[in-house]
Structure 1
Amino acid sequence: MTVVPQQKPSWQESVRQAQAIRDRSIEKVDATVLPGTNTARVIDVPRQHLSQTDQAITESSAEALVASIAARKLTATAVTNAFLRRAAIAHKLTNCVYELLPERAITRAKELDHYFAKHGKPSGPLHGLPISIKAHVGIKGRDLSAGFVGWLDRTSPDDANIVKILLDAGAVVYARTTEPQGLMMLETCSNITGTTTNPHNTALTPGGSSGGESALQALHGSPLGIGSDIGGSIRSPAANCGLYGLKPSTGRLPPVGGSAYCRGCETILGTLGPISPTLGGVEIFMKTIIESRPWVNNSMVLPIPWRDQENYIHQDGKNLTVGVMWTDGVVTPAPAVTRALNEVVERLKLAKGVDVIEWKAYQQKEALEILTRLYAPDGGKAFAKHVESSGEPFNPLTAWTLRDTPGIEELSHQGVWDWTGKREMFRYAYLQEWNSVAPEMDVIICPAFPTPAPLHGTSRYWGYTSLFNLLDYPALVFPVTKVDPERDAKDITYTPKNEFDSWAHEHYDPVKQVGAPVSLQIVAKRLEEEKLLQAFKEIKEKIGLPFVDCLA
């Protein structure tokens, strides 16, 4: 008997099957057909299709929801159903959902409500809180494509470590969010899910690679979510959509159970981290994960407890000292970004207990050379292999990132050692510069991207975020204001300094980017997440950030 080998489906057919799974998950939650909108701004649309009760629930912060459920003002089931409905609507507006998990989520919420009724207390610090998850973070029984069509048949055998910790704390996992091809761009576009758009202006990108998270949260379809960051993939989406996003240092959160083409390559390590509409959401996420003592069962996590009770800022009565990096010296920030930074600095200078100093960018060109080699030490061959395995086409931005950027080359073993050695020496030299030039400096505030949320297909420069992946410093993105075409007019007399600078200058258009959030980044030394959050909370309170409601 002759056995005829089963023909592998075309990449287009694989995509149709994946999209059908997503579409069915959304139809189970909400069958509303949204009318076409004449505006690129869709932030307010979900309110038109939700009850007042669902609006109130979904527009509450993560910390308020946990408190309300603990006080029996809300049930986990009511909260879960509200966020499922809003997430379905958010997807129809921005294409931000990889799939919803309604059966799993509602079953879980009912179990939590039963537990509360039986025991008279919450099951954990996140009891009943819905949490969304970037799709490459493992969920038992679901695919782990990481944005590759050829990986759609890969299934996660278990929940990722970080998901298990959140579930043990009482969370409800209800949505998986979109990500780009291979996770490697500051936008969110793949041949599996298509393009995710920014709800502030659908002509703009919500960022990447955690752009599904940012679009969903900007529409209040999630109070808290898991992103990941190897070059800016938490901070770019948070910045573009007016959210808070924290990239921790590696070793603070458990990475086991996710999917990425470069897993096992340690030249530049990625990290998981929180994205939330509120700073409190970021704090409750970090505190919950680290207080579970994940290092007991995971040797990849450093045994450092959550140190939020210690005062890291005003030891010996000193002021909070903030360094300001206006530019990285390679790409000049657009007027909107410079205005936001200037407004923050001017108010900080008037605040009591705060000192402001200048911080000049340190050897940024050398940092970019190291990053270019270490993001693709194989010359991009592995990435290309995974793209080509299904026959799907390269996205122009992933082609740029891992194939076409000047300086990408396949390194020999000696070359990998040499460039990794340069990475370590750069980290050493940067810390020496900090300690010798500004030993009193607690944190640095700087741009998160050269422009506000860019037009689709134009996010080429990662330097402001990837620098801190190279250094492995914790960095938090925070909203400040919004683009104003009059105040943020383009400087038509500006002469760009290089190809990257020219690209950013050419693609800045405050008229097309009107209303987009303008965000900044605050950075501390390696493993100083608690100090970073303490410093930012003080800054936020003293100067009243954000200056404009970036989610309104």
Structure 2
Amino acid sequence: MLSAAATAAAKIKQTPVAAAISAAAAIAAICTTVATSYHRNKLEADAERRHAYMRGICQRKRAERDARRLVPFECNVDPELQALIISLPVHELVQGIQSHRFTSEQIVRTYCQRAKLCGERFNSNAEEFFHEAIEEAKEADAYFASTGQLKGPLHGIPISVKDQFDQKGADSTCGMAAKCFHPSAEDGLLVHLIRTAGGIPFVRSNVPQMLMVTETRNDIWGTALNPYNTSRVAGGSSGGEGVLLACAASPLGLGTDVGGSIRVPSNWCGIYGFKPTPQRMSTVGLTNGMSPQYGQQAILPVAGPMGRCVEDLTIIMKCWWVDALWNRDPYVPRMPFNDAIYRFAAMPKATTAQSAVPALPFVTCGPLLAATCAMTPSSLSSASSIAPSREDDEREKSPYPSMAIDVESGARSRTSSLNCGSAFGSLAAAGGFNLTDPSPRPRSSSIPHIGSSLFGGASAGMLLARPAAEVPTPLRPRKLRIGYFTTTALFESSPACARAVQEVVASLTEAGHELVFFEPPNLQDGAMTLMGLLSCDRGLEAYIRGLQGEALNDAYEPLYQGSIMSTAARTELADSAERQGMWRLAGLVRATGVKNAFEYKEYIHKAKTYKNAFVHAWQAANLDALICPTMPLPALPHLTTARLIPAHCYANLFNLLHVPAGSVPVTHVRADEQCYTSVHRDAFTDLAVEASAGTAGLPVGVQVVALPFQDELCLHVMGLIERTNGLHEHVSLTADQA
């Protein structure tokens, strides 16, 4: 019967009608294949033409910048004066202008020359405004000469600006061709506040394409090189800022942070950086690095300062937290910078004598701030406190030692340095008390100022009012309870990064603070939740749309390939990774990828749940602050950062939590620390082992974290670490003959 059926089928196939149908089907299949191939080829050709067009825009923009470099400007500043200028922190530069030690023009010319050299050598710069900055400096000097007054706490100081902040006459390219040749008509809000305070934007710093990776690389400005080792990345997305500051080519800079973008380059370039509480800052005047329609709000970006000492970081925050910001952006709570908390970690305590202290007219809101301002001097001093050691006292009397490093020869020479610790001593003297002496020593019957008196009145800092007949009581930093961890199960720290935390813990313990081990609960859950929220669109759609036809940078390739993986392939890969014990890879694969609206809301809920668990653990441990590595590895080789995504959990966890965090440089990788070990057996470990070779001499820092809205306390702890362990050094530019 089967053979008969086969014979009948063969006869049917041989009929003219069946043959015609078969032939038509074959022809249709061929036509479809040809049409599909033609369409694919046409799309690829169109894409390549678009890529070439966008590359041309990038080349034109860079050529425009380079042409401006050919217009010379003179740096007629004595070399010894230049060396002095780059050795001083910003607040002492302003004092130098006021005391006629040097002029704003001399400061600006010095830094313009260094920034030009730095940009040519390390690709740190985007657009440069050296000539305009020199003219602004002349105007600042003329203003001071005619009025005897300073414009503000940044009077005549050159400020470098990340290529994301809107600035009059400049493109905010975000490393993207589509944003070239669209200069801002006015300064953005945050740049405007810097100018109002007397600052002079003089150079814009290089960034990654679209700002979303920790390697600063784009087709406009090129790849930023780490000045300690040019085979290593500078970090990102504020990588250009890190390079400029590491080379003493800028005294102070503006960065942003959505996943470690201030703290990672600060850590890898050996500088200081601070990420404020996002809800306490405005994003008005910041250009979005992706599609304008990308309304992601689960992980908030935030602007913050990057500098060469903690004291200078606070100047930027004081310039930003003013009425002009709150009036322009009413969604930001009115919380002025609280100097009492920053200087002394002063915290509110119950008191019945609050009526003796008049309210401060400029305090507008914030329960912690209001409670602190309502304290009497006696209630402030009743907090547990410690007196700085004799060694700390000597540090305040003399400049910090600094190392100028010649990257060609590896030689290091001792130079004069940033004397940021002296701010604490001068503060005590101005306020009528001595931080190094536990006994009260009133020197004046006037109300003591907390903060620099350089600009006079309440604008310089908060006033602690007291009854006229009361003898002043000295304010002393209180004893803190600080948590710490050196490594995590998700991605173990390298020896140098763990040692950095251990050294800080030992120093703070010796200083009288209480250090307790504390590891964030379920850190892997937090890290994977953040990755899930930032990768919810298929094929990096928000990124691709923002590029408008420009080719996606190769630094994004691992992320892109992961984003286009089908659900079935993703599940199969994750299951396979789990069977082989590679649970880090499995977790990352499951967390990333396209999500529908419900799944995205599930991740929002996961984020809220994790925040609650973190705060509960923090409060149960009764912590004031937390210290941990900023990154588990020193600066990585080029094109490896996107392949080591789990390593970023130390930094981006605190973006998920929306808490303030900062990075403080404390040490360098030793020759015997160029290694890495892990219990994990996967590609991440293999790459970390490879990346750890050749890292001797690279800077390593620690990260400081506080709870939301406790920014001043975070900066206070950063200052404590700076005074005991902080580095103050810069990389040489052409044997430092800048």
In the superposition, the TM-score normalised over structure 2's length comes to 0.67
Deviations 1:115-165 (CA, angstroms, capped at 9, x unpaired):
112211111121101100001111123222211222224332321100000
Question: Aligned runs of 1:92-241 on 2, under 5 Å?
Answer: 92-241=120-269
Which of 521, 526, 546 is 1:362 aligned to? 521
Map 1:417-496 → 2, pairs under 5 A: 417-436=601-620, 438-439=621-622, 441-459=623-641, 460=644, 461-486=647-672, 488-491=673-676, 494-496=678-680
Q: Secondary structure in 2 aligned to 1:416?
A: helix
Give the direction of change, closer, same or farther, for the CA distance of 1:81–1:455 in structure 2 (3 Å limit). same
Partner Cα separation in structure 2 for residue 17 and residue 307 of structure 1: 46
In the TM superposition, 1:271-282 aligns within 5 A as 271-282=302-313
Question: Cα–Cα, structure 1 residues 158 and 485, in superposed 2: closer, same or farther, change >3 Å?
Answer: same
1:395 correspondence with 2:575: no
Tell me the CA shift for residue 345 of structure 1. 1.9
Could you tell me whether the CA contact under 8 Å between 1:99 and 1:176 is conserved in 2? yes
SS in 1 for 2:515: strand
Relative distance call for 1:159 and 1:548 in structure 2 (3 A) is closer
Question: In 2 relative to 1, CA 351–343 (structure 1 residues): closer, same or farther, beyond 3 Å?
Answer: same
**RMSD over aligned Cα, in angstroms?**
2.3
After superposition, where does 1:6-45 map in structure 2 within 5 Å?
A: 10-29=53-72
State the partner residue of 1:42: none
Q: Could you tell me how far 1:334 is from its partner in structure 2?
A: 0.6
Contact kept, 8 Å, 1:138 with 1:259, in 2: the verdict is yes
Q: Is residue 2:710 matched to residue 1:528?
A: yes
| Residue 352 of structure 2 is aligned to residue 285 of structure 1 | no
Which secondary structure state, in structure 1, belongs to the residue aligned with residue 339 of structure 2?
Answer: coil
Letter in 1 for 2:596: S
Q: Which moved more, 1:105-114 or 1:402-411?
A: 402-411
Q: Which moved more, 1:206-215 or 1:317-326?
A: 317-326
Q: For residues 316 and 399 of structure 1, what CA distance do their matches in structure 2 show?
A: 53
Q: What amino acid is aligned across from residue 345 of structure 2 in structure 1?
A: Y
253-262 or 228-237, which deviates more: 253-262
State how far apart, in whole Å, the 2-side matches of 1:16 and 1:172 are.
Answer: 28
Distance 1:316 1:178, change over 3 A: same
User: Which stretch of structure 1 is more off in the superposition, 307-316 or 465-474?
Assistant: 307-316
1:312 matched to 2:330: no
Greater helix proportion: 2
Moved more, 354-363 or 219-228: 354-363
State the SS of the aligned residue for 1:476: strand
- Per-residue CA deviation, residues 442-479 of structure 1 (Å, 9 max, x unaligned), is 11110111111111122233211100000011111001
For the residue of structure 2 that corresponds to 1:275, the secondary structure is strand
- 1:489–1:144 CA distance, 2 compared to 1 (3 A): closer
Change (3 A) 1:81 1:31: closer
Pick closer, same or farther for the CA change 1:124–1:230 going to 2, 3 Å: same
Counterpart-to-counterpart distance in 1, 2:78 and 2:331: 43
Larger radius of gyration: 2
Q: 1:225 to 1:547 in 2, by over 3 A?
A: closer
Counterpart in 2 of 1:270?
Answer: 301
Q: What one-letter code is carried by the residue in structure 2 that aligns with 1:231?
A: G
Local SS of the residue matching 1:122: coil
Given residue 396 of structure 1, which amino acid in structure 2 is its aligned partner?
D
2:480 aligned with 1:294: no
Q: Quick one: distance in 2 between partners of 1:18 and 1:162?
A: 25
Q: What is the aligned partner in structure 1 of residue 15 from structure 2?
A: none
The letter of the residue matching 2:68 is S
Q: Give, in whole Å, the separation in 1 of the partners of 2:491 and 2:682.
A: 8
CA contact (8 A) 2:112 2:202 kept: yes
Deviation, structure 1 residue 551? 5.4
Paired letter, 1:490: C
- Which position in structure 2 is the counterpart of 1:384? 544
Q: Deviations over 1:166-220 (max 9, x none)?
A: 1011111100010001101111111111111011111111111101001011111
CA shift, 1:30, in A, is 6.0
What is the alpha-carbon distance in structure 2 between the residues aligned to residue 549 and residue 483 of structure 1?
Answer: 15
Q: Partners of 1:548 and 1:109 in 2: how far apart?
A: 26
Secondary structure of the 1:356 match is strand
Deviation string 1:398-447 (CA, Å, 9 cap, x unpaired) is 233455263322222222222112211211111011112x02x1111101
Structure 1: gaps spanning 5 or more residues:
1-6, 33-48
User: Partner amino acid for 2:611?
Assistant: R
1:516 to 2:698 alignment: yes
Identity between Structure 1 and Structure 2 (%): 29
Distance in 2 between residues matched to 1:527 and 1:401, nearest whole Å: 33
Change (3 A) 1:467 1:172: same
Matched, 1:545 2:725: yes
Question: Is the 2:158–2:251 contact (alpha carbons within 8 Å) kept by the matching residues of 1?
Answer: yes
State the TM-score, normalizing by the size of structure 1: 0.89
Cα deviation digits, residues 319-371 of structure 1 (max 9, x gap): 3111111223200011111122222222333222x111001231111112211
Checking the alignment, whether the CA contact within 8 Å between 1:133 and 1:227 is kept in structure 2 is yes
The partner residue of 2:530 within 371, 376, 391 is 371
Shift of 1:275: 0.4
Larger displacement relative to structure 2 (195-204 or 283-292): 283-292
Change beyond 3 A, Cα 1:540–1:196 = closer
CA contact under 8 A between 2:666 and 2:725: conserved in structure 1? yes
Aligned residue among 503, 508, 511 for 1:343: 503
d(CA) in 2 for partners of 1:133, 1:243: 16
Aligned AA (2:597):
H
- State how far apart, in whole Å, the 2-side matches of 1:194 and 1:139 are: 21
Describe the shift of the 1:150–1:491 C-alpha distance in structure 2 as closer, same or farther (beyond 3 A).
closer
Contact 1:330–1:498 at 8 Å: present in 2 too?
Answer: no
Alpha-carbon offset, residue 231 of structure 1: 0.2
Secondary structure class of the residue paired with 1:316:
coil
More deviation, 499-508/418-427: 499-508
